[in-house]
Amino acid sequence: MNHKRYISLFLLLLISFKILVVPFVYLDFELRKEYIIQHLCENRFTPQLHCDGKCYLAKQLHKVAEEQARNEAQKQSDTAKKVIQEVFEETTLDFALAPVSYLDFEYFPLLSSSVQKGFLSKPIMPPIA
């Protein structure tokens, strides 16, 4: 029972991490704001723009959005491939021919019955009064 709890906790952490990617980007920006402004900002040599690292934050958010869109597109294409494979699954049809016996074959089964043979073998006579 204890290992199920660890597995469920691990899956919960994975789902939480996926949901919290954007807040982690904001948290990283706020924690390293001075370093980003001094070393990573595109406008660090023109302080009159007052960018304050927002260009770096916008780049990071754009990267995350692109990655999520790419992952979503990949999932959709994988799902479509699976559906197509299941719908149009290759099935081999085996048409084994059964042996045909010509000995028991009757060309006219109604004419060969015993009732009709007896009827045709008797001469036609008028009724007896």
The boundaries of the domain holding residue 28 are 24-63
Does residue 36 fall inside a structural domain? yes
More confident: 9 or 112? 9
Does residue 59 fall inside a structural domain? yes
Does residue 93 fall inside a structural domain? no
Give the pTM: 0.55
For the segment 26-59, what is each residue's pLDDT rounded down to a tens digit? 999 999 999 999 998 888 888 888 888 999 999 9
pLDDT for res 100: 58
Name the phi and psi angles at 106, rounded to 5.
-110, 125
pLDDT at 105 over 90: no
Q: Residue 53: how many CB atoms within 10 A of its CB?
A: 22
Does residue 39 fall inside a structural domain? yes
Domain count for the chain, please give it. Answer: 1
Q: DSSP per residue over the chain, as a string?
A: -HHHHHHHHHHHHHHHHHHTHHHHHHHHHHHTHHHIIIII-TTTT-GGG--TTHHHHHHHHHHHHHHHHHHHHHHHHHHHHHHHHHHT-------PPPPPPSTT--S-TTTTSHHHHHHHHSPP-PPP-
